[in-house]
Amino acid sequence: MPVRDSLEYYIRLFANLRTDKSANRWPDRVRNRAPQKPILLLAVLDLLELNEIDSNLIEITEDLLDLFDKYWLEVLPFTRPSTLAMPFVRMESEGFWHLARRKEGEPLFGRPERSVAQLQERVFGAYLDEALYEHLRVETNRSILRSVLAGERYFSNEASKVLLQQGFVNREAFIYSEKLLKNPGDLTIRDTLPLEEEYLPVRGQGFRRAVVTAYSHRCALCGIRVRTLDGHTAVTAAHIVPWSETQDDRPANGMALCRMCHWTFDEGLLGVSQVYEVIASRQLNTLDNLPGYLTNLEGRGIVGPDRKPLWPDTESLQWHRENVLRTQ
């Protein structure tokens, strides 16, 4: 066994995480093992990379939840919904991960697979062995540990490639979305990313984070805000003028919309007026349609971001009314 607290010591621990093993429960692409722990640590590495963790305390932030989910969906898209709560608690048995409890000595739950919301009631976050935290501040160490976590020990070759690619997207998308939020009116932000195809997911994920953050997970048209106790959100980020037309990723060319409103907006059944009121196409009320609450939105003000510069710009909305909204 390598010397305690050395990098080699932690490489060994990362390569030997205690995980559930079962060919019935877990497919080949995760080597028939529960992938939650390596995925959680990959998300933590991303946040360290981005300086979003700048002290030895890993908090349960929206970004941590989001990055965890992004990896999860890449390796186990249809198997089951993820929850960060489970690995976050169980990691404590690995010896290098220590929960920061709100009340010292308080037991967590009988079964750790509870929700993130319940977890947050009981813990602030987790801190690492001080020696491990120091190792992780060095980029080359992070990339060594990343290759262990995303490597053949826990994932098939194909899944491993996908995870490493997703790590790249996570980090680049985060940086892109921060730029979009800081300079909401600046169309040249899009030019800070190369045009190559591999950057398309970076743009998509970065735009989504910027818009969903700007609207605090609320649908601009119907106003609903639904999140699961694990932080999964009902809203998506819609481009007002489609990306294919202008490649305009400014938050002002976007709105956070629930899935129903996103579809109706893209289909031209709903639009937004020059004074930010919802316009409903007459087609909503034709044939066998039973549009329910959608028709009640007509004339109501949209629910915009707190910051005025992040609101949809009127030219984009006009383009949508002229080119997409069905007036008949």
The site for Zn ion (CB under 5 A) is made up of: 219, 221-222, 258, 261
Pick between residue 189 and residue 221 the one whose CB is nearest to Zn ion: 221
Query: Could you tell me which residues come within 8 angstroms of residue 13 by beta carbon, excluding any fewer than 6 positions away?
Result: 94, 95, 96
Closest approach of Cβ 222 to Zn ion, in Å? 3
Tell me which residue has tokens 């398309």.
200
CA 326 to chain centre: 33
Give the burial class of 27: count Cβ atoms within 10 A of its Cβ; 0-12 exposed, 13-18 middle, 19 or more buried: middle
Pick between residue 75 and residue 235 the one whose CB is nearest to Zn ion: 235
Closest approach of Cβ 223 to Zn ion, in Å? 7
Pick between residue 160 and residue 213 the one whose CB is nearest to Zn ion: 213
Pick between residue 193 and residue 261 the one whose CB is nearest to Zn ion: 261
Query: Could you tell me which residues come within 8 angstroms of residue 264 by beta carbon, excluding any fewer than 6 positions away?
Result: 221, 270, 284, 294
Tell me phi and psi for residue 291, to 5 degrees: -75, -5
Closest approach of Cβ 254 to Zn ion, in Å? 14
Closest approach of Cβ 273 to Zn ion, in Å? 17
Query: Could you tell me which residues come within 8 angstroms of residue 5 by beta carbon, excluding any fewer than 6 positions away?
Result: 129, 131, 132
CA distance 276 to 298: 11
Pick between residue 159 and residue 238 the one whose CB is nearest to Zn ion: 238
Give the burial class of 5: count Cβ atoms within 10 A of its Cβ; 0-12 exposed, 13-18 middle, 19 or more buried: middle
Closest approach of Cβ 42 to Zn ion, in Å? 32
Pick between residue 3 and residue 290 the one whose CB is nearest to Zn ion: 290
Pick between residue 43 and residue 237 the one whose CB is nearest to Zn ion: 237
**For residue 42, which of 162, 130, 156, 122 has the smallest C-alpha distance?**
162
Pick between residue 119 and residue 258 the one whose CB is nearest to Zn ion: 258
Closest approach of Cβ 285 to Zn ion, in Å? 18
Closest approach of Cβ 230 to Zn ion, in Å? 21
Within the chain, what is the greatest distance between any pair of CA atoms?
75
Closest approach of Cβ 159 to Zn ion, in Å? 34
Structure tokens at 323: 């080119």
Tell me phi and psi for residue 236, to 5 degrees: -120, 170
Strand partners, 277: 301
Q: 278: part of which helix (H) or strand (E)?
A: strand 278-280
CA distance 215 to 160: 34
